[in-house]
Amino acid sequence: MAIDFGVEPEFQAQIDWIEEFVTQEIEPLDIFVADGRDVSGEPLDRAGWRAVKAHIRTLQERVKEQGLWGFHLGPELGGPGLGQVKLCLLNEILGRTRLGPTIFGCAAPDTGNMELLAHNATDEQKKKYLEPALAGELRSAYVMTEPHAGEPGEFKCSAVRDGDEWVLNGEKWFASNAVRADFLIVMAITDPDKPLLERASMFIVERNLPGVEVVRNVHTFGTPLSDNFVIDGQRGGHAYLRFNDVRLPADALLGEEGSGFVGSQTRLSGGRIHHAMRAVGTCKKALDMACERALSRRAKGERLADKQMVQAELADSYIQLKQFRLHVLYTAWLIDTTGSYTREIRKEIAAVKITAAKVNHDIVYRAIHLHGSLGMSNETALGDMWMSAPFMGVMDGSTESHKENLAKLLLREYEPCDDLFPTYHLPKLQQEAREKIGKVIEQYGAA
Ligand SMILES: Cc1cc2nc3c(=O)[nH]c(=O)nc-3n(C[C@H](O)[C@H](O)[C@H](O)COP(=O)(O)OP(=O)(O)OC[C@H]3O[C@@H](n4cnc5c(N)ncnc54)[C@H](O)[C@@H]3O)c2cc1C
């Protein structure tokens, strides 16, 4: 019997360690950092924030001692090589937290960038960028989306060869963590006349090169607009970048010239399923909160938990979460089994990416609604969790574009029927069945 939902005791011990570490260390730190005030209620000063960063480094060391740093990486890159199924079980614990991925060395966008470098970089590039990035010493950003378009066919930012150099010009949008990054991985058009999949290349661009301009550090809703104009590298954000005649050495090219769009699929496929894994954790947290609230709150003489409509909502959330989690685990198992992003796997990744947004939306909404006014207040984590639903539906490709891809991949498994009526048209099937079973009956009759 090959299907087994259990895990071996050694891995269960690692899950238990992470569970406790997250509860004891990371969840309180998340709350503290979001609040940003010290024990007397005063805003943290620079020295306070430096101490927080030092504390994060200490926690990262504890993770390294457990052999869990960069747990998404294979042994060839210094990770434990757990495989995707085990990654699901760990990522869903980290999905409850904000700082968890940073403390475990598996935060986006660095994780996807490391995968890109591992697959495409030359030995020199690996030494210069990948190795320090793996050690947590360099930070990176992935720079693909443009202000006027999120879709490769519309991109304009270009790199033109000039002697031994490339000259980069154009604008990029929503590059997460770019203001804090040491280097950027930039997608640029290198030959607009080639077929779409060969038009772009990727470049490693050091952030402090002349001509790299941060127009604004854009934040998501909930942050004051004025913060978009503060570019101090202290906080995250999604940069609006402009490249003004940035001169890159020839060896800034990452992978083959023209391989940018195809290469980016490796990065994005891995990143998409990791988002889905963490969404399992977010949804589980929302359901836990809803259940506790339902058991604790009373209305019209009984607990919310005793009301059939509330029970139905909780049951719906539970079923959606279980189905989603199993689908994510199945997709992870497929990747582990085949070891690459085949067409079948890309179809499942598109499916879980689409579901992640829907499930996140539905389960968190129900939890918020069940909490009434408290749910809409800023006194629970639900508001933050609610924001992840629209993010999930857009980042790494919109739900619609994934549905389009999924449908195309699905349809490749079928053939059109040239007949006037479809292959499953009952009159035709009845006639075939009569002929087939008729022969059997004849045989029985003859016996
Ligand atoms: C939190 C977050 C972090 C991000 N980080 C990065 C990053 O680090 N680097 C980076 O390069 N980008 C990043 N992005 C940008 C992200 O990759 C794009 O938002 C995404 O690719 C969609 O592009 P767009 O925003 O331009 O939307 P558009 O392409 O303009 O799409 C907008 C809407 O148009 C509709 N639409 C689009 N395509 C189709 C279609 N094929 N069929 C039907 N309807 C369609 C959908 O309703 C879609 O939501 C991030 C986005 C978010 C939200």
Assess whether pLDDT exceeds 90 at residue 15: yes
Q: Ligand 1: which residue has its CA nearest to atom 24?
A: 150
Same domain, residue pair 294 and 153: no
Are 306 and 426 contained in the same domain?
no
Q: What spacing in Å lies between the alpha carbon of 184 and ligand 1's midpoint?
A: 19
How far is ligand 1, taken at its centre, from the CA of residue 216, in Å?
A: 18
Q: Counting atoms of ligand 1 from 1, which one is nearest the CA of 176?
A: 8
Q: Is 112 domain-assigned?
A: no
Q: How confident is the model at residue 294 (pLDDT cuts 50, 70, 90)?
A: very high
Q: Residue 354 sits in a domain of what CATH number?
A: 1.20.140.10
Give percent of the chain above pLDDT 90.
82
| Sign of the dihedral through C-alpha 429, 430, 432, 437 | positive
Beta carbon of 400 within 6 Å of any ligand 1 atom: yes
Q: Is the pLDDT of residue 153 over 80?
A: yes
Give the Å distance between the CA of 377 and the centre of ligand 1.
29
Calculate the CA dihedral of residues 19, 22, 27, 30 and round it to 10 degrees.
-150
Band the pLDDT of 353: cuts 50, 70, 90: very high
* Residue 268 scores a pLDDT above 80: no
Total number of domains constituting the chain: 4
Which residue, judged by its Cα, is nearest atom 32 of ligand 1? 398
Q: How far apart are CA 176 and CA 181, in angstroms?
A: 9
Question: What are the backbone dihedrals phi and psi of residue 264, each rounded to the nearest 5 degrees, phi first?
Answer: -65, -25
Q: Which two tokens stand for residue 232?
A: 């101090």
Average pLDDT of span 226-230: 93
Q: How much distance in Å is there from the Cα of 117 to the middle of ligand 1?
A: 23
State the pLDDT at residue 339. 79
Is residue 231 a contact partner of residue 291, using CB atoms and an 8 Å limit? no
Please, is 88 exposed, middle or buried when counting C-beta atoms within 10 Å of its C-beta (0-12, 13-18, 19+)? buried
118-124's contacts with Cβ under 8 Å and 24+ in sequence apart are: 118/73, 118/76, 118/77, 119/255, 119/263, 119/266, 120/202, 120/254, 120/255, 120/259, 120/263, 121/204, 121/254, 121/255, 122/251, 124/251
For residue 298, tell me if it sits in a domain.
Answer: yes
Task: Using the 3D structure, point to which of 228, 254, 280 is the last residue of a domain.
Answer: 254
Is the Cβ–Cβ distance between 168 and 248 less than 8 Å? yes
Out of 223, 254, 285, pick the residue that ends a domain: 254
What pLDDT score was predicted for residue 152?
A: 85
Please tell me whether residues 268 and 350 are part of one structural domain.
yes
Is residue 440 pLDDT above 90, yes or no? yes
Report the interhelical angle of 9-21 vs 84-94 (nearest 10°): 20
> 3-state secondary structure string, 167-221?
EEEEEEEEEECHHHCCEEEEEEECCCCCCHHHCEEEEEEECCCCCEEEEEEECCC
With cut-offs at 50, 70 and 90, classify the pLDDT of residue 447.
Answer: low
Residues 266 and 399 grouped into a single domain: yes
**Closest ligand 1 atom, residue 187 Cα:** 11
Residue of 86 and 110 predicted with greater confidence: 86
Spatial CA neighbour of 112 closest among 8, 265, 223: 265
For the cut 70, the answer to whether the pLDDT of residue 266 exceeds it is no
Residues 102, 178 within the same domain: no
Q: Is 394 in the pocket of ligand 1 (CB under 6 A)?
A: yes
Residue nearest to atom 29 of ligand 1 (CA): 150
Q: Determine contact, residues 201/255, Cβ cutoff 8 Å.
A: yes
Q: 177 and 246 in one domain?
A: yes
Pocket residue to mutate for ligand 1, from 174, 196, 261, 387, most atoms within 8 A of Cβ: 174
131 domain-assigned: no
* CATH code of the domain containing 18: 1.10.540.10
User: What is the distance, to the nearest Å, from the Cα of residue 90 to the centroid of all Cα atoms in its chain?
Assistant: 14
Q: What integer is the mean pLDDT of 400-426?
A: 97
Q: Are 178 and 282 contained in the same domain?
A: no
Kindly report the protein residue whose alpha carbon is nearest to atom 33 of ligand 1.
398
Q: What is the pLDDT of residue 236?
A: 84
C-beta 230 within 6 A of ligand 1:
no
Statement to judge: residues 439 and 400 lie in one domain: no
Query: Is residue 128 assigned to a domain?
Result: no
Point out which residues pair with 241 in neighbouring strands. 172, 214
- Cα of 195 vs its chain's centroid, Å: 28
175 lines ligand 1 (CB under 6 A): yes
| Residues 97 and 235 placed together within one structural domain of the fold | no
Residue 118 within a domain: no
**Cis peptide upstream of residue 109 (ω within 30 degrees of 0):** yes
Q: Say if strands 140-143 and 183-189 run parallel, antiparallel, or are unpaired.
A: parallel
Last residue of a domain, one of 107, 122, 150: 107
Q: Is residue 121 part of a domain?
A: no
Task: Among 274, 395, 396, say which to mutate for ligand 1: greatest number of ligand atoms within 8 Å of CB.
Answer: 395
Q: Which amino acid is at 352?
A: V
Is the Cβ atom of 401 under 6 angstroms away from ligand 1?
yes
Least confident interval from 130-139, 141-150, 172-181, 239-248: 130-139
Which span out of 29-38, 110-119, 270-279, 336-345 was modeled with the highest average pLDDT? Answer: 29-38
Which of 360, 367, 221 lies closest to 294, judged by CA? 367
In a 3-state reduction of DSSP, which class is residue 166?
strand
- Summarize the confidence of residues 230-252 as an average pLDDT: 92
Cα 274 to Cα 88: distance, rounded to the nearest angstrom: 8
3-class DSSP assignment, residue 155: coil
How sure is the predictor about 99, in pLDDT bands with cuts at 50, 70 and 90? very high
Residues 18 and 83 both lie in one domain: yes
Same domain, 209 and 284: no
Q: Is residue 216 part of a domain?
A: yes
Choose one of 172, 398, 408 to mutate for the ligand 1 pocket test, by most ligand atoms within 8 angstroms of C-beta: 398
Take atom 52 of ligand 1 and give the residue whose Cα is closest.
Answer: 395
Cα radius of gyration (the chain): 26
Residue of the nearest CA to atom 23 in ligand 1?
150
pLDDT higher for 107 or 186?
186
Residue 180 lies in a domain: yes
Residue 90 and residue 32 in one domain? yes
Dig out the tokens for 191 from the structure: 């030959």
| Residue span of the structural domain in which 379 resides | 262-411
Q: Are 365 and 387 in contact (CB under 8 A)?
A: no
Ligand 1 pocket, 145 CB below 6 A?
yes
Q: Which range is least confidently modeled, 247-261, 298-312, 356-370, 433-447?
A: 433-447
Is the C-beta atom of 155 inside 6 A of ligand 1? Answer: no
What separation in Å is there between the alpha carbon of 394 and the centre of ligand 1? 5
Output the domain CATH number for residue 236: 2.40.110.10
DSSP string for residues in 291-322: HHHHHH-EETTEEGGGSHHHHHHHHHHHHHHH
What is the distance in A from the centroid of ligand 1 to the CA of 397?
Answer: 5
To test ligand 1's pocket by mutation, which of 116, 145, 221 has the most ligand atoms within 8 angstroms of CB?
145
